[in-house]
């Protein structure tokens, strides 16, 4: 029996969020520079995005660059930004073909102009697509996102706020919370990713390094998610 045949297509997670970790270790294991690990990671991104679109998953959020990633060597940051720009350039045709809409969460004002221009272009050109929403987290930090929301609310001079007020002022406004969170490479942390939104998500960790993460690994995560009994605090 193929792994995909074990998936119940009527119980798919609506929203999957992923920390794509392990590119550097993948490269190191092969004696390659880290950037080649990121490039191999880009191939995995392409594959997982297309697989989610085929499965009819509604939303896929990928952590592509965190607010903490600026601490990396300049050369690695530059290479990642160029990689992102070329990915978007190459991928536009496929995104359109697969009815995928691109969105960004995070403070993209700090990204290099070339990357921003490409992002704006692809967001605009895919804005009418109605299939998978591909949410890229770029220069994203969960705590910063919450503080930003609080500051928006303070400006409105409210006396008291409700949960909905806060969630409506996050980057993910209007997007349902992730049902399934996946982190690759054996690390078991949230690393400042979607702190508010992951409150009730099923957490799935795998030893597989991101460049090796393929459709069968995604199916395994979904099957594990479907085995779990989500109670949201009830009984
Ligand atoms: C973590 O691996 C990965 C990143 C910080 C960047 C993620 C970027 C990609 C997967 C490249 C392509 C992305 C898109 C959207 C086209 P790491 O470098 O921290 O690995 P390590 O922990 O083994 O060093």
pLDDT tens-digit series, residues 154-187? 999 888 999 999 999 999 999 999 999 999 999 9
Q: Which of 8, 23, 69, 229 is catalytic?
A: 69
Is the pLDDT assigned to residue 229 strictly greater than 80?
no
168 is catalytic: no
Average pLDDT score over residue span 84-100: 97
Backbone torsions φ then ψ of 100, nearest 5 degrees: -95, 135
Which stretches of the chain are assigned E, i.e. beta strand? 15-19, 59-66, 101-105, 133-140, 180-183, 202-205
pTM comes to 0.96
- At CA 43, angle to CA 138 and CA 182, rounded to 5? 60
Does residue 211 have its Cβ closer than 6 Å to ligand 1?
Answer: no
Residue to probe by mutation, ligand 1, list 38, 47, 65, most atoms within 8 Å of CB: 38
Tell how far the Cα of 64 is from the centroid of ligand 1, in angstroms: 7
Does residue 87 have its Cβ closer than 6 Å to ligand 1?
Answer: yes
Does residue 223 have its Cβ closer than 6 Å to ligand 1?
Answer: no
d(CA 195, CA 149): 13
CA distances from 81 to 85, 115, 134, 138 (A): 6, 6, 18, 10
Instruction: Determine the pLDDT at residue 203.
Output: 98
Average pLDDT score over residue span 135-151: 98
Nearest to 44 by CA among 216, 222, 220: 216
Structure token digits, residue 99? 């009815």
Does residue 35 have its Cβ closer than 6 Å to ligand 1?
Answer: no
Question: What's the helix, strand, coil split of the chain in %, to 5?
Answer: 50, 15, 35
Average pLDDT, the chain: 96
Instruction: Determine the pLDDT at residue 233.
Output: 75
d(CA 145, CA 67): 11
135 is catalytic: no
Structure token digits, residue 233? 């605090």
Structure token digits, residue 129? 């697509």
Instruction: Determine the pLDDT at residue 158.
Output: 86
Nearest to 104 by CA among 140, 50, 147: 140
d(CA 22, CA 24): 5
């Amino acid at each position: 029996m193929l792994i995909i045949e074990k998936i119940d297509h009527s119980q798919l997670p609506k929203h999957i969020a992923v920390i794509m970790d392990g590119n550097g270790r993948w490269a190191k294991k092969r004696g390659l520079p880290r950037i080649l690990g990121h490039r191999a990671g880009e191939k995995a991104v392409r594959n997982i995005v297309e697989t989610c679109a085929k499965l009819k998953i509604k939303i896929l959020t990928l952590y592509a660059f965190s607010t903490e990633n600026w601490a990396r060597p300049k050369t690695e940051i530059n290479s990642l930004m160029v990689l992102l720009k070329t990915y978007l350039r190459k991928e536009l045709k496929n995104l359109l073909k697969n009815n995928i809409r691109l969105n960004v969460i995070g403070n993209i004002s700090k990204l290099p102009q070339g990357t921003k221009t490409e992002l704006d272009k692809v967001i605009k050109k895919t804005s009418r697509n109605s299939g998978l929403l591909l949410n890229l987290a770029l220069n994203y930090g969960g705590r910063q996102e919450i503080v930003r929301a609080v500051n928006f609310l303070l400006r409105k001079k409210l006396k008291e706020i409700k949960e909905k007020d806060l969630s409506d002022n996050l980057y993910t406004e209007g997007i349902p919370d992730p049902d399934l969170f996946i982190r690759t490479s054996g690390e078991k942390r949230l690393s400042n990713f979607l702190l508010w939104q992951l409150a009730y998500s099923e957490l799935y960790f795998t030893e597989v390094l991101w460049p090796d993460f393929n459709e069968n690994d995604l199916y395994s995560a979904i099957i594990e998610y479907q085995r779990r009994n989500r109670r949201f605090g009830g009984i």
